[in-house]
Structure 1
Amino acid sequence: MGAPLVFIDGDQGTTGLQIHERLQGRKDLRLLTLPEQERKDPARRAQAINACDIALLCLPDGPAREAAASIVNPAVRVIDASSAHRTDPQWIYGFPEMSTEQSRRIASARRVSNPGCYPTGAIALLLPLVKAGLLPADHPLAIHAVSGYSGGGRARVDAHEGAGASHAATFQVYGLGLAHKHVPEIQEHAGLAQRPFFLPAYGSFRQGIVLTIPLLLRQLPAGVTADQLQACLQQHYEGAVHVEVMAQKDVQATQHLDPQALNGSNQLRLAVFANPQHGQVLLAAVFDNLGKGASGAAVQNLDLMLQHAA
């Protein structure tokens, strides 16, 4: 039996190109991509997706749903990088580190939904604290994040790197209707009982994210301290290859957070900053929106699924 055949549907988009690059040279799989003239042919795409072992959907939500619906071969397994199926109970959520069982679920799944970039940071910070009872599920939460402009897809990349790049905004806050499509995903997978407030922004750098969540200790259960929050995250991610929690001595020595610090990697760095005098805490996550926030996570999930197939 030959190496598994992996089909990337949408390999010319930002995420698809990055996945293709990460898989180049691999001997344990075969890559199937369609020539340019066939990429928009529904019949040819349906044929390709039904001929592969694992399909990676790097498409907008609508086309991703159509691609998934076109599968008639029961042996085909799918990783969807769009947001189309992230709250669908029939799909396994592709964040391996969210629990001790999640890697196993992903490995054996037929359908995996890759997490969104912003939700990756928010869920990583919030879920362990909610599960441990240190953060009430109904706590009012405000999440702020700044991403590189590649998070806006090809149109925003072109705006910053194309002919009119000199006129591109250096910083833009968006999602002002407070209805960003990532909010339901964050609420569900972080175990929150109510909708968090989420305000995203784009900076004039290509990739990388800093996501922050402020907390007031007086609003948390009695006796909860910043040290307990940090210890909870440390314990939850102990042994995790791709998630690191900053030690307190490193947090205390940190004066700035660089959204580009982990670019090109599949790492996610978490930290708990605190001002004990005022009872204030800041949860923070730094990662590459094209790495752990997209293509790196997809390849991590692919590897889990390939290991199970082997």
Structure 2
Amino acid sequence: MQRPRVFIDGDQGTTGLQILQRLAAYRDLQIVTLPAEHRKDRQRRAAAINECDYAILCLPDTAAREAVAAIYNPAVRVIDASSAHRTESDWIYGFAEMDDQQAARIAKAKQVSNPGCYPTGAIGLLRPLLRAGLLAADFPAVIHAVSGYSGKGRAGIEEYEGEQAAPAPALQVYGLGLAHKHVPEIQLHSGLSERPFFVPAYGAFRQGIVLSIGVHRRFIGEGAQTGQLHECLAQHYRGSRYVEVMPMAEARVLGHLDPRQLNGTDRLRLAVFDHPDSGQVLLTAVFDNLGKGAAGAAVQNLELMIAGS
């Protein structure tokens, strides 16, 4: 039996390099990349993508759309790690744990859009609670997140590790125009009917994310207790290989969250912190922006697609 051919288009970017390194251990796959002198050659790229079984696109949005448009071989299956197709109805969203049928949808899909790093945490927290009615669809979500600078790609790594790294700030909040490209993705796949606030930041550490969403008691479903938010998440992800929910007792004695805690893994750790007297709840997610937030999710989706073929 011939080994499946997997073409990585954009293997020299931060996500592409991570995927290439991970797949190097898969002896049952043929990994295909283009040499440096051919990476911008449209004809060679089109030939490579049409000769593969699975294409993983680690490209800017415009280049990803061009790569998809160049596909004429109906047997080619695609995982797009850019944000170009994450809200397209004819693409399957590659967050396998978002509901109990999503992994099966990914397994049979021709086109899978890999989730964004920040949306992985936000959707992972919000979607189960919205579907259970513990939060209303018009919940006014305000999402704060801090990522390691590798989330900015090569530019971020150069800014903090290159020759001009000394003046780089310890923390920089961005997206102040409130038009970050992840907002439509978060709104659509979480099930929010109202546009969420999203306030991202980069910290002076290479990788890792901590994301948080505050909830006041009045926004929790009528008659529900704050502890039910934790129980809902725990039930939703029970038995999951990659997503875990911190026990409430553990959360109540935790003094801080380290965004780097799960670096080098493909795990997503969710937690619920509460203040019983006020009824306020803090929902949090910690994960590696290059793991479950990018390359890890792409490899997980590839494994599902190969198993479903």
TM > 0.5: yes
User: CA deviation digits over 1:274-307, x for unaligned, max 9?
Assistant: 0011111000000000000000000000000111
Rounded Cα–Cα distance in structure 1 between residues aligned with 2:12 and 2:293: 18
**Structure 1 residues not aligned, in runs of 5+:** none
Task: Return the letter of the residue paired with 1:197.
Answer: F
Rounded Cα–Cα distance in structure 2 between residues aligned with 1:220 and 1:264: 35
Maintained 8 Å contact 1:217/1:224: no
Shift of 1:219: 2.8
User: CA deviation digits over 1:74-95, x for unaligned, max 9?
Assistant: 0000000000000000100000
Find the residue that maps to 2:177 and give its secondary structure.
Answer: coil
2:64 corresponds to which residue? 64
1:38 corresponds to which residue? 38
Task: Return the letter of the residue paired with 2:238.
Answer: E
Maintained 8 Å contact 2:55/2:76: yes
Task: Return the letter of the residue paired with 2:222.
Answer: A
Rounded Cα–Cα distance in structure 2 between residues aligned with 1:219 and 1:191: 15
2:208 corresponds to which residue? 208
Maintained 8 Å contact 1:6/1:55: yes
Task: Return the letter of the residue paired with 1:246.
Answer: M
1:51 corresponds to which residue? 51
Q: CA RMSD in A?
A: 0.7
Shift of 1:153: 1.1
Rounded Cα–Cα distance in structure 1 between residues aligned with 2:51 and 2:133: 46
1:261 corresponds to which residue? 261
1:13 corresponds to which residue? 13
Of stretches 5-14 and 213-222 in structure 1, the one that deviates more from structure 2 is: 213-222
Shift of 1:221: 2.4
Maintained 8 Å contact 1:210/1:257: yes
Of stretches 219-228 and 268-277 in structure 1, the one that deviates more from structure 2 is: 219-228
Rounded Cα–Cα distance in structure 2 between residues aligned with 1:269 and 1:249: 15
1:86 corresponds to which residue? 86
Shift of 1:159: 0.7
Shift of 1:220: 2.3
Of stretches 54-63 and 161-170 in structure 1, the one that deviates more from structure 2 is: 161-170
Rounded Cα–Cα distance in structure 2 between residues aligned with 1:80 and 1:95: 13
1:143 corresponds to which residue? 143
1:98 corresponds to which residue? 98
How high is the TM-score relative to the length of structure 1? 0.99
User: CA deviation digits over 1:154-212, x for unaligned, max 9?
Assistant: 11110101001111111000000000000000000000111001100000000000000
Shift of 1:51: 0.2
Find the residue that maps to 2:308 and give its secondary structure.
Answer: helix
Task: Return the letter of the residue paired with 2:27.
Answer: K
Shift of 1:65: 0.2
Identity %: 64
Rounded Cα–Cα distance in structure 2 between residues aligned with 1:168 and 1:154: 15
Shift of 1:52: 0.2
How high is the TM-score relative to the length of structure 2? 0.99
Rounded Cα–Cα distance in structure 2 between residues aligned with 1:91 and 1:201: 29
Number of matched pairs: 309
2:122 corresponds to which residue? 122
Rounded Cα–Cα distance in structure 2 between residues aligned with 1:25 and 1:214: 41
1:304 corresponds to which residue? 304
User: CA deviation digits over 1:32-53, x for unaligned, max 9?
Assistant: 0111111110000000000000
1:201-280 to 2 correspondences below 5 Å: 201-280=201-280
1:198 corresponds to which residue? 198
**Structure 2 residues not aligned, in runs of 5+:** none
